[in-house]
Amino acid sequence: MTLFGNSFNTKEARERCRRYRRRILDISQQVQALHIGSAYSCTEIVDCFYHGLMRRNPDGSSPDTFLMSKGHGCMIQYVILEEDGILGRADLDGYCKADGHLGVHPDYGTPGIAAATGSLGHGLSMACGMALAERGRKTGGTIYVVLSDGEVQEGSTWEAVLMASSLRLDNFIAAVDNNDLQSLGRTSVTHPSLYPLVDKFTAFGWEVAEVDGHNPDAIFAAVAGRRGGRPFMMVAKTTKGKGVSYMENVPIWHYRSPNPEEYRHAIDELETGR
Amino acid sequence: MRNMFAEALYREATKNPDIYIVVADISPVGNMAKFSSEYPERFINVGVAEQSMIGICAGLALKGCQPFAYTIATFSLYRPFEMVRDDLCYQNLPVTVVGMGAGVIYSDHGGTHHAMEDIAIAGALPNMQIVAPCDPSEVAEATRWCAHQKNGPVYLRLGKSGEPDLTRAAEPWVFGKLRALRGGSDVAILSYGVVTKTAVDLAERFAARGKSASVYSCHTLKPLDRDGIVAVLKQYEHVVVIEENVPQGGLTAQTKQLAWDIGARCRLDTFTLQDRFIHNFGRHPDMLAEHGLGLSSIAERVGLG
């Protein structure tokens, strides 16, 4: 078993993330709508978990587990699984089609998908159970989870936050994709008292770091440098729709596909880095 | 029943390191204390956090473990309903959700603690299996079965404590099959769970009037033994159903439907909890009587007045 992190390269990570955004943009032209803004928001986080932090066995499998608790962001997971050879091109071409098997939310039974999510507030507790099982079997497996910041409003999320802390699950790494947007507006306006998030998770006994969620180096360093002995929460400050200027922080891109003109504009931005 | 559950689960846990029990601030006594002291890493108390209880069980099962979730029935099924549906049933995971003190057993605690419609609700969920033992020895059989099965989720509906033994002379327990507790040729009484005691008492009343009555434990509510029930509907002139569940979605509703489907000609009397909340307090028999499930009232309505 080798630590991928030993060879984590920021330049390569940025290039992968550009590729992933481009691939998602292409898939957006196959369907009427997809959660493009939500996927772009957590692209660097999910890439860093998969390619910087989760370990790989020689056969390509991992002793660690990734769980997308914000199931609506799974398009980024699909394209990573495609590039890593776990899903095929035909799988993604069949996205949301009658003869396909990939939907808007990740489904249990799909290769590379650890649990069915989509209803918010379920992932963190399931991840607690997974971390417990890994600890019980002494496998050394670590569970990686990505939450949305809207999801942090769910009471069930806080039940799990309590449990992971009380059980001292040190093989538990979570990130909140803190893009500050939910369907009807700013999450920080809906619930101002939930912020700053760092203080809340710290108060619940987690080790917490706040990072720029689009900076691969910062994400990697925060997780790799954690003290350990407790569950770890990364509050990742992100921008919804990151990478395409007209999508950034515009709520309508939570669930929409670009038209052909918008598509070309987005491709230009991604190819030229603006 | 809960003590027998604890004993049976402890026995299974000593043999299988993948068995976990996740409780929500309620724990059976007796051998469960042994379980928690011998296997603390497999006895998880989430406190009053039932959504997390179900989610954690799902996560354990996703990693190949065989978890049990345990608390009072209303809190194991109703409070975390969406977790039961999405995490357990949708993913078809072998998690046993134990509903302790189901029906109106928590009689004097008020309606917040009455699981009157749990069979209907659990039965509406695809992939969910439902087992409701009638006495402590059926609890032991069912618990053992739950600890080994890999079909998918189970709702294991338990009573509380002090239930009498009803199955000493019964057929062997088989998941998914009616179980004859006593034989008779004139009347058949179908029941499940704690209220099966009333069915046995009713059979005695029939016997006192010179009629022999069979009693069947319909311990598996899902999948229901439809063939077994059809056979009963065809064999007997008089069939009685007694259940501690609202009229919709339980054994009564399904037996009536089967009777209609096969054009049954038997007399069919059914007794259920009423489709209303009763704001009374008292012992379990008092609540059953308020719902019309008292022995005397049932006896009168089946012609033994």
User: Residue A272 has what pLDDT?
Assistant: 87
Find which of B52, B84, B88 to mutate to test the A interface (most A CBs within 10 Å of its CB): B52
Cβ–Cβ gap A156/B63 under 8 Å: no
Minimal Cα–Cα distance from A126 to chain B, Å?
A: 4
Q: How many domains does chain B have?
A: 2
User: Count of alpha carbons within 13 Å of A76, Cβ hemisphere only?
Assistant: 31
Cβ–Cβ gap B56/A126 under 8 Å: yes
Note whether B199 and B232 are within 8 A (CB). no
Shared domain check, B273 and B191:
yes
- Residue B166 placed within a domain: no
Q: Which residues of B touch A167 (CB under 8 A)?
A: 44
Shared domain check, B151 and B10:
yes
Give the number of other Cβ atoms within 10 Å of residue B279's Cβ.
Answer: 8
Distance CA A181, CA A152 (A): 12
* Residue B43 DSSP symbol: E
Statement: residue A6 has pLDDT above 60: no
Q: Does A138 touch chain B (CB under 8 A)?
A: no
Confidence of residue B290 (pLDDT cuts 50, 70, 90): very high
Cβ–Cβ gap A132/B54 under 8 Å: no
Confidence of residue B56 (pLDDT cuts 50, 70, 90): very high
Shared domain check, B153 and B12:
yes
Q: Which residues of B touch A135 (CB under 8 A)?
A: 41
Give the number of other Cβ atoms within 10 Å of residue B185's Cβ.
Answer: 12
Statement: residue A5 has pLDDT above 80: no
- Residue B88 placed within a domain: yes
| pLDDT tens figures, B237-252 | 999 999 999 999 999 9
Report the complex ipTM.
0.95
**Share of residues in chain A with pLDDT > 70 (%):** 97
**A67: closest chain B residue by CA:** B59
Shared domain check, B135 and B45:
yes
By mean pLDDT, which of A170-184, A232-246, B21-35, B206-220 is the weakest?
Answer: B21-35
Average pLDDT, chain A: 94
Cβ–Cβ gap A122/B59 under 8 Å: no
| pLDDT tens figures, A125-167 | 999 999 999 999 999 999 999 999 999 999 999 999 999 999 9
Shared domain check, B194 and B121:
no
Confidence of residue A274 (pLDDT cuts 50, 70, 90): low
Write out the residue range of the structural domain in which residue B36 sits.
2-157
Shared domain check, B268 and B143:
no
Statement: residue B28 has pLDDT above 80: no
Distance CA B194, CA B216 (A): 13
Distance CA B120, CA B110 (A): 20
Q: Does A124 touch chain B (CB under 8 A)?
A: yes
Distance CA B180, CA B166 (A): 11
Q: Does A120 touch chain B (CB under 8 A)?
A: no
Note whether B110 and B84 are within 8 A (CB). no
User: Residue A83 has what pLDDT?
Assistant: 96
| pLDDT tens figures, B60-114 | 999 999 999 999 999 999 999 999 999 999 999 999 999 999 999 999 999 999 9
Q: Which residues of B touch A64 (CB under 8 A)?
A: none
| pLDDT tens figures, A199-232 | 999 999 999 999 999 999 999 999 999 999 999 9
By mean pLDDT, which of B34-43, B144-153, B222-231 is the weakest?
Answer: B34-43
What is the CATH number for B274?
Answer: 3.40.50.920
- Residue B225 placed within a domain: yes
Which of A126, A134, A163 is facing B49, going by the closest CB pair? A163
Angle between helices A155-166 and A123-136 (to 10 degrees): 20
Shared domain check, B186 and B134:
no
**B56: closest chain A residue by CA:** A129
Shared domain check, B150 and B9:
yes
User: Residue A216 has what pLDDT?
Assistant: 97
Domain boundary residue, one of B110, B126, B157: B157
Question: Residue written as tokens 């029930």?
Answer: B229
Cβ–Cβ gap B59/A129 under 8 Å: yes
Shared domain check, B7 and B140:
yes
User: Residue A59 has what pLDDT?
Assistant: 86
Shared domain check, B219 and B152:
no
User: Residue A110 has what pLDDT?
Assistant: 96
- Virtual torsion, Cα A89, A91, A93, A95, nearest 10 deg: -150
Q: Does B69 touch chain A (CB under 8 A)?
A: no
Nearest to B101 by CA among B113, B85, B91: B113
**B39: closest chain A residue by CA:** A136
* Residue B279 DSSP symbol: -
**Which domains are present in chain A?**
9-272 (3.40.50.970)
- Residue B139 placed within a domain: yes
- Residue B236 placed within a domain: yes
**A63: closest chain B residue by CA:** B63
Shared domain check, B143 and B7:
yes
Cβ–Cβ gap A129/B17 under 8 Å: no
| pLDDT tens figures, A54-84 | 999 988 889 999 999 999 999 999 999 999 9
Cβ–Cβ gap B63/A167 under 8 Å: no
Statement: residue A42 has pLDDT above 90: yes
Q: Does A159 touch chain B (CB under 8 A)?
A: yes
User: Residue A7 has what pLDDT?
Assistant: 64
| pLDDT tens figures, A11-22 | 999 999 999 999
For residues B117 and A184, the model is more confident at B117
User: Residue A4 has what pLDDT?
Assistant: 47
Q: Which residues of B touch A115 (CB under 8 A)?
A: 58-59, 62, 87, 91
- Residue B118 placed within a domain: yes
- Residue B300 placed within a domain: yes
Q: Is A85 exposed, middle or buried (0-12, 13-18, 19+ CB in 10 A)?
A: exposed
Give the number of other Cβ atoms within 10 Å of residue B45's Cβ.
Answer: 18
What is the CATH number for B11?
Answer: 3.40.50.970
Tokens of A222: 């925060």
Distance CA A183, CA A256 (A): 12
- Residue B170 placed within a domain: no
Confidence of residue A3 (pLDDT cuts 50, 70, 90): very low
Query: Mean pLDDT over residues A168-183, rounded?
Result: 97
Average pLDDT, chain B: 96
Positive or negative CA dihedral for B100, B126, B154, B58? negative
Distance CA A49, CA B236 (A): 65
Shared domain check, B189 and B225:
yes
Which of B42, B56, B90 is facing A129, going by the closest CB pair? B56
Query: Mean pLDDT over residues A87-112, rounded?
Result: 95
Which of A130, A155, A160 is facing B62, going by the closest CB pair? A130
Q: What one-character-per-residue DSSP string does B188-217 give?
A: EEEE-STTHHHHHHHHHHHHHTT--EEEEE
Note whether A69 and A146 are within 8 A (CB). yes
Distance CA B3, CA B293 (A): 26
Statement: residue A2 has pLDDT above 60: no
